[in-house]
Amino acid sequence: MTPALNVEGISVALGGREVLRDVGFSLAPGAFCGLIGANGSGKTTLLRTILGFTAPSAGRVTLGGAVGYVPQKLQLDPDMPIRARDFVELGLNGHRFGFPFPSRARRARVEELLSAVDAKTFADQRIGELSGGQQQRVLIAHALIREPKLLLLDEPLANLDLRAAAEIIALLKRVAAQGVAVLISAHDMNPLLRAMDRIVYLANGRAASGKTQDVVRTEVLSALYGYHIDVIRVHERILVVAGEHGAHGHEHVAAIP
Amino acid sequence: MMLLQPGFLASVPVQNALLIGAGAALLSGAAGVFTVLRSQSFAGHALADVSSAGGAMAYLLGISPLLGFFSLSVLGALALEVIGTRRAAERDLAAGIVLGAGMGGTALLLYLDVTVKGSAGAAVSVMFGSLFAAPPGLGVAVALGALAGLLGLGLIYRPLLLASLDSELAKADGVNTRLLGTAYLLLLALAVTLSAMAVGAILSTALLIGPAAAALRLAHSPAAAMGLAALLGLFCAWGGVWLAYQSYGWTPGHVWPVSFFITALVLAVYAVASLVRRG
Ligand SMILES: Nc1ncnc2c1ncn2[C@@H]1O[C@H](COP(=O)(O)OP(=O)(O)OP(=O)(O)O)[C@@H](O)[C@H]1O
Ligand SMILES: [Mg+2]
């Protein structure tokens, strides 16, 4: 089975600094993968490299098909007069030139996507007026409408409350079950623990990847960070903490990502 | 004193003025919606100022004003692209620089118009327009230019909308945002040129921004805003021409500047739209 995404030993330099070094992993169709790392660890940079916005200085990215992208937040004016429904439709034909004649088949397809992401009730509202969670759904529908093989999401849970986050995760899980590989970045892995079957963990510009339980381990993460890390499990939550030899040298316990 | 002047539609300068006003208003209104959505009002104004150098040049060389204005505003659009496309923050900077250079050129060319050609009226005409004194063939040329511009705008409508919503997302969807930005600036150059034919270079931003901003307050989709802005612009342009024609009877022997009436109507339309939106 050809992978939906193959990242082979990529290094990326930004502003003269190497942000990613020799990062490699691959995603099979239907994989649900968390891209986890602290602020500034290079999650967005890795996603941008996969999208082709940033050229790697070494290595290469191979895609198994079309890619859908969900940016963290739309940079738009709340007064922008565009309904959620029309925004989803732009996912289908927004890249095409030519007159936007309405078509019944296209409308039906938009309707299908709107119900798939549970966005029918607010489909006719302006997108700038939607809540963070509602906007996420519309963005996901926009990204899915062209049937991508890979869905990239940059911090989709960042501004959501627990319930909205759980709903988005359940939605993405259904997407993965249809055979779409899902790569979702987050600085906290806990909300994703039940859902994700793979993880790419970024620290120090390098990545550890594989099955979640094989990567989120004291030895693996200590090697990645370059100093001792404790992986602590409490009440089905995982805390990754720097012990007494932490960044500031004095005794403290802090969750790193 | 007659309040209504007879023979409005029978007058050839009026017909010409109505045609120029219509072409300018329709394209500027529709294109202006994206100017507002993309926060490019300042770039639009810079193009207009640069185009005034072309207007002054046309007097000097004795060529069609349309050609003069358009060639310089296209040059301005290309200069904007070359100077400031790396970051959004550079766009305003680029517009300011291009505007300054353009106005400097205008100052020189208008000086030459007066000293070499003896056309003392050139400055007012280039900057503030002289719609009733437009050359006879200009109406048809402006109408054709507007038609071409509207067709172009329709062709790039969807990718332009997506890129105006979120440029990164548009890139991810396969839109060449760089090329699209350039194409839009060229359309903007055309719109600004046609508006300069109607109300002069300095005032052309009024037709570009005013009706579009008013329409965006009222419409529920970008396409509807474009249609509404075009109609509001048309109302201002034709209303202005009509009022100016009537003004001949208010101060006998003198016609007030058409540009004054058009821009006054633009302001009124925007004010009413704001009230309607709030009310
Ligand atoms: N254009 C740039 N030029 C120079 N350095 C950059 C640039 N963009 C990002 N960086 C640096 O690259 C590193 C990775 O940034 P990136 O945005 O990928 O991190 P991230 O994991 O997405 O962080 P966050 O969780 O805050 O979104 C950071 O140290 C950042 O300072
Ligand atoms: Mg980021």
Residue A176 domain boundaries: 5-227
> Which of chain A's residues have a Cβ under 8 Å away from the Cβ of B162?
90, 94-95
Q: Is residue B2 part of a domain?
A: no
> Which of chain A's residues have a Cβ under 8 Å away from the Cβ of B221?
81-83, 86
Q: Is residue A192 part of a domain?
A: yes
- CA-based R_g, chain B, Å: 19
Residues B136-180: pLDDT tens digits? 889 999 999 999 999 999 999 999 999 999 989 999 999 999 999
Residue B247 domain boundaries: 12-278
Res. A72 pLDDT band, cuts 50 70 90:
confident
Q: Is residue A142 part of a domain?
A: yes
Nearest Cα neighbor of B21 from B255, B265, B235 is B235
Q: Is residue B3 part of a domain?
A: no
- Which CATH number characterizes residue A139's domain? 3.40.50.300
Q: Is residue B120 part of a domain?
A: yes
CA A244, CA A40: separation in Å to the nearest integer?
Answer: 23
Q: What is the pLDDT of residue A234?
A: 85
Where does residue A9 fall: left (phi above 0), alpha (psi -120 to 50 degrees), or beta otherwise? left
For chain B, the domain total comes to 1
User: Structure pTM?
Assistant: 0.89
> Which of chain B's residues have a Cβ under 8 Å away from the Cβ of A80?
37, 165
Taking residues B106-111, report their average pLDDT.
92
Cα A99 from chain centroid? 33
Taking residues B210-235, report their average pLDDT.
95
CA B273, CA A93: separation in Å to the nearest integer?
Answer: 32
Residues A49-60: pLDDT tens digits? 999 999 999 999
Q: Is residue A168 part of a domain?
A: yes
DSSP assignment of A58-122 equals: EEEEEESS-EEEE-SS----TT---BHHHHHHHHHHTT--S-----HHHHHHHHHHHHHTT-GGG
Q: Which residues line ligand 1 (CB under 6 A)?
A: A 14-15, 19, 37, 39-45, 187
For chain A, the domain total comes to 1
Residues B124-137: pLDDT tens digits? 888 898 888 888 88
Q: Is residue A256 part of a domain?
A: no
Mean pLDDT of chain A: 89
- Which CATH number characterizes residue B60's domain? 1.10.3470.10
Q: Is residue B1 part of a domain?
A: no
Taking residues A12-35, report their average pLDDT.
96
Q: Is residue A247 part of a domain?
A: no
ipTM value > 0.90:
no
Using CA atoms of B174, B179, B181, B184 in order, give the dihedral in degrees to the nearest 10: -110
Residues A175-213: pLDDT tens digits? 999 999 999 999 999 999 999 999 999 999 999 999 998
Q: Is residue A61 part of a domain?
A: yes
Q: Is residue A237 part of a domain?
A: no
* CA pseudo-torsion sign B9, B14, B19, B24: negative
Residues A97-136: pLDDT tens digits? 988 788 899 999 999 999 999 999 999 999 988 988 899 9
Q: Residue A53 and residue B161: Cβ atoms within 8 Å?
A: no
Q: Is residue B5 part of a domain?
A: no
Q: Is residue A234 part of a domain?
A: no
Contacts of A48 (CB under 8 A, 6+ apart): A54
Considering every ligand atom shown, identify the ligand nearest to the alpha carbon of residue A46 and give its number.
Answer: 1
Cα separations in angstroms, A51 against A131, A133, A186, A197: 27, 24, 18, 22
What chain A residue is nearest to B217 in terms of C-alpha separation?
A79
Q: Is residue B72 part of a domain?
A: yes
Q: What is the pLDDT of residue B4?
A: 54
